[in-house]
Structure 1
Amino acid sequence: MARVLFLGGLGRSGTTLVERLLGELPGVCALGEVVHLWQRDIRDDERCGCGARFSACTFWKRVGQYAFGGWHNVDIDRVHRLRDAVERTRHIPRLATAVEAPDEVYEYAHFYARVYKAAAEVSGARTVVDSSKHSALAHVLRWAPEIDLRVVHVVRDARGVAYSWTKKVTRPETDGADEMTRYSPGRSALLWNAHNAAFGLLAKRGVPMHRLRYEEFLQDPRSRLSALGDFAGLRLMPEDLNFVGDGYADLRVGHSAAGNPMRFTVGRLPLRRDDAWKRSLPRNQRRLVGTVCAPMLRAYGYPLSLSSTSEETR
């Protein structure tokens, strides 16, 4: 059975950073956003986190061979049809309340299970990390009997997330030809509520869940990583965290299948909170997001006023 640490939450919440640091731990293999593997990597041949094209990456070649006898044997059209049938936000209520899942759910989840198992075998890892984030995918994976699913629910202040979604970011894996998706603050606020609520619903269905606030993670990454290691069933020693220093982490080459540009970072990565939204997100937009997300911001321990938020960071 594949042990999978699934990083969930809305994009721009810090999941790629958490994934990269988890990938430095012994016994862990970080795979990036596996949800995009089928199109961006197998079909479009975008760049792996190691910098090579997916088709040229030795790690992913071995994974594909072990899982399917080669990636050419994967019916991508079938995967996409299954995705459309079961892995959509609108399907979450049905997936969460069903006594038994439809056959399509098991079939779709089995594609992921084969990738996870192969990656663990090729890397020699006990735990694989999937930073796909999608709440609907997590609801699908919980039905797979061959997956030991453990979810890390990564939460970031909705106002910081909203500001991040407004920024223009190029996708280096397409050699700068494309940009990452952007949302208005109002749109991102609605998505923040929906995705985080969906993970709360998943916890009520008995899936092991560990909530991680992005801001707290950056305040003390070593202790937070240690706690995540315990949650994943790892036996970490203090020296296993030596790659994390005072305000930085040293990263090796990784093999993230997809994700934000940080997945290409190698060497010393500064660890600091990005609080630019407090200065740069217009006051009316900040208030809008704060109002729309107020109940859940309170539930996660975030202050609603900017003055309280500033005091929290001192």
Structure 2
Amino acid sequence: MTGQKVTQESRCTFVSVATCAYSGATLLAFLLGSHPEIATVGEMDGLIPSENPEQYRCSCGERIRDCDFWVRVAAGMSRRGFSFDVGHFDLRFSAPVSRIIRYIRMGSTGVRLIDSLRDSVFFKLPSERRRTAALAARNVAFIRTVLEVTGKRIFVDTSKGPFRLPALARFSSLNLRAIHLIRDVRGVVASRIRHGTTLPVRKMARQWVTSNRRIQGLLRGSFRDRYLTVRYEDLCRDLEVTVRSIQDFCGCQKLSPPLDSHGFEHHILGNPMRLHAGSAVRLDEQWRTLLTRRQLAAIRHVTESLNRHLGYAEEATGEAKEQGQRNEATNS
């Protein structure tokens, strides 16, 4: 079933957390979702294909099909003229099939005018305009439904795709903002290794560069006055100051973050950590004991310029190199 974009309702705020995997987005979702004005379901793309919706558990602990929150969301979507199933959200903005068009669409020049002209040309293609407009209307309906169900006014999304924010900018009246959440590449690579990724370290580092360059280009081009850069390390080291600055950016009351964000009602999808019992926020720097000297050197070779630009001093030159040598000796 299809529906029309809702225009008579009050303008609400949509905040996209633009980041790459293993950068702390789920942690941020729990912290922000504990605020009385902010709603989030984590990754609004919904379940990944490998997940079984009959067994998948919402972060509240209930099976997602039995969760009252999701039952109310489905009913709210129906009232807005859209069918909705928790097994298939049908909210994802997928990449164009053509490899060339996909490359053009996912990139950014970092210049607002050029990116705007590119998007204008792209959206003049009748099929793409119809498809994107319809999907944007469905996304807006979902966002407004979640805000209605929760009684909140700011929606935060932690999905990783690059297309939702530009599409909503063109086909919705939402008040759009973005947070570029970054984490030291060494921490990202170490987390991926711990979670079973077998890609070469150099390739993971390149993916980190590509993802963050793309995010920078998009935000500096089309959202330069509507985005905030947040470092995962700052979030963990100075929780109070960082969370309050994010709240201020989102346009809500500045409140102290909860000691245990899991103590609030949440309905967050994505990272398995959403199911674990709450605890104090702690900085994860296991890369210091996990990565070897060779791995650190490979990462540094690929990412040194961007890592420095994002505010990460190359401490690996001394302390981390020594630790890498010890790790290498231990693993020998």
Shorter-chain TM band: 0.7 to 0.9
State the match for 2:326 in structure 1: none
Matching of residues 223-302 of structure 1 within 5 Å: 223-236=241-254, 240-241=255-256, 243-244=258-259, 251-256=263-268, 258-267=269-278, 269-302=279-312
2:207 corresponds, among 178, 191, 196, to 191
Structure 1 residue 5: deviation in Å? 1.5
Given the superposition, is the C-alpha separation of residues 254 and 309 from structure 1 closer, same or farther in structure 2, using an over 3 Å criterion? farther
Structure 1 residue 132: deviation in Å? 0.8
Give the Cα–Cα distance (whole angstroms) in 2 for the partners of residues 24 and 131 of structure 1: 15
TM-score (norm 1): 0.81
Given the superposition, is the C-alpha separation of residues 308 and 149 from structure 1 closer, same or farther in structure 2, using an over 3 Å criterion? farther
1:220 aligns with 2:241: no
TM-score (norm 2): 0.77
1:23 aligns with 2:39: no
Bigger Cα displacement from structure 2, 158-167 vs 198-207: 198-207
> One-letter code of the match for 1:92?
M
The DSSP-based 3-state class of the residue aligned with 1:293 is helix
- Confirm or deny: 8 A CA contact 1:165 1:183 kept in the other structure: no
> One-letter code of the match for 2:136?
A
2:184 corresponds, among 133, 152, 157, to 157
Structure 1 residue 153: deviation in Å? 0.6
Q: Which one has the bigger strand percentage?
A: 1
Matching of residues 1-314 of structure 1 within 5 Å: 1-37=11-47, 46-69=56-79, 73-74=83-84, 79=90, 83-85=94-96, 90=103, 91-93=105-107, 97-99=118-120, 101=123, 102-103=128-129, 104-168=131-195, 183-207=199-223, 208-236=226-254, 240-241=255-256, 243-244=258-259, 251-256=263-268, 258-267=269-278, 269-306=279-316
> One-letter code of the match for 1:277?
W
Given the superposition, is the C-alpha separation of residues 166 and 201 from structure 1 closer, same or farther in structure 2, using an over 3 Å criterion? same
Structure 1 residue 111: deviation in Å? 2.0
Given the superposition, is the C-alpha separation of residues 81 and 200 from structure 1 closer, same or farther in structure 2, using an over 3 Å criterion? closer
Deviation string for 1:225-273 (max 9, x for gaps)? 111111111022xxx31623xxx656323101x2212212344x12111
Identity %: 25
Given the superposition, is the C-alpha separation of residues 2 and 21 from structure 1 closer, same or farther in structure 2, using an over 3 Å criterion? same
List runs of 5+ in structure 2 lacking aligned partners.
Answer: 1-10, 109-114, 321-332
List runs of 5+ in structure 1 lacking aligned partners.
Answer: 170-180
Structure 1 residue 201: deviation in Å? 1.5
- Structure 1 runs (4+) greater than 6 angstroms displaced: 75-78, 86-89
Number of aligned residue pairs: 291
- Confirm or deny: 8 A CA contact 2:19 2:182 kept in the other structure: yes
Q: CA RMSD in A?
A: 3.2
Give the Cα–Cα distance (whole angstroms) in 2 for the partners of residues 161 and 71 of structure 1: 41
